[in-house]
C-alpha cells in the first residue's frame, strides 16, 4: 500500500495514495516540518520546534505523539565547538524512531518508560546502534580490535549493553549473536559463575513441576528460542577441553528437557 507524503508551509502533512487521492484529511503538525522519514506504514516527522511525531498511516493510528527532542539536543559538543542536530532518522520495529545526532550518539524511544534510550555513543564502548557481524565473529572482540585492550569488565558490559539494545529493538539476529558473544567473553575470561547463570537462564526449568509454577519464557521477545541459543553456545564451548565437564552438565540437562517435551507432545491414542 503505497503512500505519497507532502509537507506544506502551513505546518500540515498530506497523505495521498498512488492515484493522488487523500487517505485522510491533512494532519496539523505542532510546528513547521523540518525532517521526515517514511518507512513502510510509518511516517516520522520532526518539526522546527524539535518535536517528533510518528504515525502508522496505513492503520491510521499514532505511534508517538508529539515527543520533544530537546533532551537530546540541548547539549554542547566541546570537542568540535558545535551544537547538536539530528543527522539521520531510522525506524525500528513497531515504528519506534531511532535518532542519530551529528555527533554519532544514537537514541531510541521507549513507549513503556516514555523516555529516550541512548543506544550508541562513539566516545564510549557502544559504537553502533546495530549489530556488527565483524564484532560478533570475534575479530573485534578477541583478535586485536579496539576492545581487546579494554579491561574485562568493560568488554562484558559492552556486550550486555548491545544485547539490551537488540532486545529493545526486537532484532532477533542481534539478540542471538550477542548472547553467543557474551558466552564467548565469559568463557574467555573464565567467569564461570556468570557463564553458568547465563546457561541456566537459557535452559529454563528442567522438570515438569517447575514448568507449572515458573514464569520462564522459552523465547526472548517472542522471537529467539533460548534453548536453541544454548545449544549453539555448548557447541562452541566444546572446542575447548577445559569446558568438557561444563558441556556435559548442560548437554545432559538439555537432552532431558528436550526428551520430556517430545514425550509430552506425542498424542496418546486409545487402542481400537
Q: CB 255: neighbour CB atoms within 10 A? A: 10
Can you give the pTM of this predicted structure?
Answer: 0.70
Number of folded domains that form the chain: 1
Residue 97 within a domain: no
Asked whether residue 83 is domain-assigned, the answer is no
Sheet strand arrangement including 51-56:
33-39, 42-47, 51-56, 61-68
Question: Does residue 86 fall inside a structural domain?
Answer: no
Q: How confident is the model at residue 83 (pLDDT cuts 50, 70, 90)?
A: confident
Is residue 119 assigned to a domain? no
Note whether residue 87 is domain-resident. no
Q: What is the pLDDT of residues 115-168, one digit of tens each?
A: 999 988 877 654 444 434 333 333 333 333 444 445 567 788 889 988 998 998
Give residue 173's domain range: 124-263
3-state helix, strand, coil in the chain (%, to 5): 35, 25, 35
Predicted local confidence at residue 100, as pLDDT: 93
Average pLDDT, the chain: 82
Is pLDDT above 60 for 248? yes
Q: How far apart are CA 164 and CA 265, in angstroms?
A: 33
Find, among 104, 143, 139, the residue nearest to 121 by Cα: 104
Give the mean model confidence (pLDDT) for residues 1-22.
90
229 part of a folded domain: yes
Query: Taking a C-beta distance cutoff of 8 angstroms, is the pair 86, 100 a contact?
Result: yes
| Angstrom distance (rounded) from CA 137 to CA 178 | 10
Nearest CA to 208 out of 259, 249, 251 is that of: 259
- Whether 159 is covered by a domain: the verdict is yes
Instruction: Pick 139 or 253 by higher pLDDT.
Output: 253
In a domain, 67, yes or no: no
Amino acid at each position: 500500500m503505497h503512500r505519497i507524503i507532502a509537507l506544506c508551509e502551513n505546518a500540515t502533512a498530506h497523505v495521498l495514495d498512488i492515484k493522488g487521492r487523500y487517505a485522510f484529511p491533512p494532519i496539523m503538525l505542532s510546528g513547521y516540518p523540518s525532517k521526515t522519514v517514511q518507512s513502510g506504514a510509518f511516517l516520522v516527522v520532526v518539526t522546527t520546534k524539535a518535536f517528533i511525531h510518528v504515525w502508522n498511516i496505513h492503520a491510521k493510528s499514532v505511534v508517538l505523539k508529539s515527543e520533544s527532542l530537546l533532551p537530546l539536543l540541548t547539549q554542547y559538543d566541546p570537542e568540535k565547538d558545535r551544537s547538536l542536530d539530528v543527522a539521520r532518522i531510522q525506524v525500528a520495529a513497531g515504528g519506534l524512531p531511532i535518532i542519530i545526532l551529528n555527533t554519532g550518539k544514537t537514541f531510541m524511544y521507549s513507549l513503556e518508560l516514555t523516555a529516550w534510550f541512548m543506544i550508541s555513543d562513539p566516545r564510549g564502548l557502544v559504537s553502533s546502534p546495530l549489530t556488527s557481524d565483524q564484532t560478533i565473529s570475534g575479530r573485534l572482540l578477541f583478535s586485536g580490535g579496539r576492545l581487546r585492550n579494554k579491561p574485562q569488565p568493560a568488554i562484558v558490559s559492552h556486550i550486555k549493553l548491545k544485547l539490551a539494545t537488540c532486545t529493545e529493538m526486537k532484532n532477533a539476529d542481534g539478540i542471538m549473536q550477542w548472547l553467543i558473544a557474551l558466552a564467548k567473553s565469559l568463557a574467555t575470561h573464565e567467569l564461570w559463575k556468570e557463564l553458568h547463570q547465563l546457561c541456566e537462564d537459557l535452559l529454563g526449568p528442567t522438570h515438569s513441576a517447575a514448568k507449572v509454577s515458573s514464569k520462564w519464557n522459552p523465547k526472548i521477545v517472542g522471537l529467539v528460542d533460548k534453548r536453541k541459543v544454548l545449544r549453539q553456545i555448548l557447541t562452541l564451548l566444546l572446542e575447548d577441553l577445559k569446558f568438557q565437564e561444563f558441556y556435559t552438565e548442560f548437554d545432559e540437562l538439555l537432552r532431558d528437557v528436550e526428551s520430556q517435551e517430545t514425550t509430552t507432545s506425542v498424542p496418546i491414542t486409545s487402542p481400537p
